[in-house]
Amino acid sequence: MEPLLTICCTTFNHEKYIKETLDGFLAQKTSFPIEIIIHDDASTDSTAEIIKEYAEKDNRIVTILQSENQYSKHIKPWPNFVFPKARGKYIALCEGDDYWTDPLKLQKQVDFLELNADFVISWTNYQTFNGSSFLPNKWDQKEENTTIDYYNIFSPYCTLTLTAVFKREALNLELLKSFKYAKDNSLYIVLLQKGKGVFMDFESAVYRVHEDGVYSLQSDFFKNYSSYLNVKEVTDAIPKSRTSNVKKVIKSLGNAAAFEVLKLKNADEKLTENQLSFMKTYFCEADFKTKFKYYKRLLKYQFSQ
């Protein structure tokens, strides 16, 4: 029987967490068949062995076990390996260090998308676990179901990968593969070409911040700079996404990255040529308000020494 939904999971050195992730998948109660595709990017710990053990016990699990790390070669797993294998009408996402807590998560999201043809993607509420405590999502949404589109996406940022379920037919795979800086934000902006998104106010998952996280513990500069490049690239390719909201998001990310470099330079931190070049170019091309803030900050740093 063909699956109605495909769970797509990417892993790398997640031996401490992957069992909880897989248990969350297998605990899902649905009225429809599912498949689970797990891509391991040549983990150097026991992640792949754990995945194989689960796959032997459940034939819904499809494994993609890399012998060479693809991330280091700038090859993204979703568009290049995982999504092409997905057979479901719907695709759900979760990385191997996060996990689901609501056994009806998929059923609730698919039910909504089945009943609302003009929506192509759904996200839900979540908690963040920092190793010692669980922190709720800070967005105090007022509605049970909040529409997400180009006019409010990322404002606030509540569209986490581990809660996403979307319609596969809305995915422009070739466009997604063409992006140099592709990540989850690229996927969402591509999907919203075909319809609206919804944020559903029920907690379904836990986002884990930990010392092994590829992204969660990156520097503030890296997070802002990579997101700036990412969102700018995809909106350059999709004109209809260039709303005042998205332009504001891009400016906010660019400002945060550039001012972070300025702060690090003032603290005599060792900076890369890329960081210095980005800061110089960004402020040269910035609007008057941003340039004014730059020179004001520069004077502040100079007089504080």
**Tens digits of per-residue pLDDT, 43-92?**
999 999 999 999 999 999 999 999 999 989 989 999 999 999 999 999 99
Judgement on whether residues 56 and 131 belong to the same structural domain of the protein: yes
Q: What is the CA radius of gyration of the chain?
A: 20
By percentage, how much of the chain surpasses pLDDT 90?
84
Tally the domains of the chain. 2
Judgement on whether residues 149 and 76 belong to the same structural domain of the protein: yes
* Domain range for 182: 5-208
Question: Which of these, 81, 93, 98, 102, lies nearest to 121 by C-alpha position?
Answer: 93
Residue 213 or residue 233, greater confidence: 233
Q: Which tokens in the block code for residue 174?
A: 């070739």
Do the domain assignments include residue 266? yes
Residues whose CB is less than 8 angstroms from the CB of residue 139 and which lie 6 or more positions away in sequence, other chains included = 156, 158
Instruction: Give the pLDDT band of residue 140 (cuts 50, 70, 90).
Output: confident
Judgement on whether residues 249 and 184 belong to the same structural domain of the protein: no
Do the domain assignments include residue 215? no
Judgement on whether residues 92 and 235 belong to the same structural domain of the protein: no
Reply yes or no on whether the pLDDT at 193 is more than 60: yes
Judgement on whether residues 146 and 24 belong to the same structural domain of the protein: yes
Residues whose CB is less than 8 angstroms from the CB of residue 53 and which lie 6 or more positions away in sequence, other chains included = none
Judgement on whether residues 46 and 13 belong to the same structural domain of the protein: yes
Q: Which tokens in the block code for residue 180?
A: 């140099």
Q: What is the CATH number of the domain that holds 41?
A: 3.90.550.10
Judgement on whether residues 199 and 226 belong to the same structural domain of the protein: no
Judgement on whether residues 53 and 182 belong to the same structural domain of the protein: yes
By percentage, how much of the chain surpasses pLDDT 70?
97
Tokens 């390719």 identify what position? 237
Question: Which of these, 67, 104, 78, 82, lies nearest to 36 by C-alpha position?
Answer: 82
pLDDT at site 141? 80
Chain mean position to CA 90: 17
pLDDT at site 213? 54
Q: Which of 208, 240, 267 is the last residue of a domain?
A: 208
Judgement on whether residues 155 and 238 belong to the same structural domain of the protein: no
